[in-house]
Structure 1
Amino acid sequence: MAASSIKSPLILFIALSLFVRGIFAEVICDNLPTNFCSFAIASSGKRCVLENYKNDAGKLDFTCKTSEVVVERLAGYIETDQCVKACGVDRSFVGISSDAFLVPQFTQRLCSPSCYQNCANIVDLYFNLAAGEGVYLPLLCEKQKTEPHRAMMELLSSGGVATGFVADAPASSPF
C-alpha cells in the first residue's frame, strides 16, 4: 500500500515536469518539421519560412528556415490548425504572396470573424503584405463585407493599390 501511495505523486510530478518543459520549449525554425513551419514564429521573434531545395537524390524537398522578418508580440508561436483552416491558408505553400488578395474566397476567409478576430499571427502577416501593396487590410475587410465584388474590382483596377484603402492608414498592424 505504501509503495503505491509513493508512486502516484512521483508519476504526477514526472508528468507535470514534462508538460512544463513542453510549454517552455524554445521554438527554432530550423528544428521544426515542415508541416509546422509556415505561420510559425521562432522564440527569437523571427518568422519561419518554408523553403524548397533539391536533395542529394535530385528530388524536390522542403526545409524550415528563419527569415529576417521580426514579429514583436508573438515570439515562440506555432499557428494552430484551427486558424490555418479558418483563414484559408496552406502550410505547404513555399513563399507567401499578396497575390492571394486577388482571390475573392481567400479575402473572404481572411476577413471572416473566425480568422480576423481569432488568428492574430496570420492576420498580422497578411496585414503587412497588404500594406506593402498600399492596401490597408481593415478597410479592405470592411469593403469585403459590404461590397465584395467592388472591393476586388478596385484592387484589380488599380494595379494592387485599392482606391480609398490607403488614405492616411496607420502603418502598423492592428495587433
Structure 2
Amino acid sequence: MLHTLNRALSRADSWVHRLEAICLSGGILLMAINTIVNVFGRYLFSQSLYFSEELNQILMVVITFMGLGYVTRKGRHIRMSAIYDLLPDAWKKRLMLLLTLSTALTLFLLSYYAYAYVAQVARRGMITAALQIPMYWTLLVVPVGFFIAGLQYSLAFIKNLQSRDIFLSFSALDVYDESQTDPLM
C-alpha cells in the first residue's frame, strides 16, 4: 500500500513538474521575445508594441506564482534556519513536520482567498487595458500557484512522516552543502 501511494504521489509530482516547467520556461522565453521585439520596434521603427509592458507584467505574475511550487519541489525556497540548524535531528524532524504541515495549510488557505478574489474580479467583468482580455484570466495563476506550492509542502510532510531522514520536499533531502554558501566554489 505504501509503495503504491509513493508511486502515485511521484507520478502526480512529475505531472505537476511538467506543467510548471512549461509555464516557467514558456513565460521566460515569451518575456524575452516580447522585450527584444519591443526594443527593435522602438529603435528601428520608432514604434513600441502597445501591449508589451502589460504582457510582461502578466508573465511576471505567471513566473512568480508557478515558480512557488518549483522552488519548493527542489528544496530551494528561502529558509531562516539558524535555530533549526542548532537542533538535534529528532527535534529537526519534529520542526520540519510542523513547518511543512503549517505551510501547506497556509498556502491552501491563500489559494482559497486568491480564488475568491479572482471570482470577484470575473464577476465585475474587468478587462486589461492594452490586450483587452478578461482580467481574471491573468490572475488565475495566483490560486493555482498557491495550490501547487501547498501540494508540494503536503508531499514533503508525507515524505517526512514516512522516512527517518529529513526532507525539505518530496525529493530533496535536508543536507548542508557548503558549496552553496561559499562564493569561491
Q: Please indicate the TM-score interval, normalised by the length of the shorter structure.
A: under 0.3
Higher helix fraction (1 or 2): 2
Higher relative contact order (CA 8 A, sep 6+): 2
TM-score calculated relative to the size of structure 2: 0.23
TM-score calculated relative to the size of structure 1: 0.24
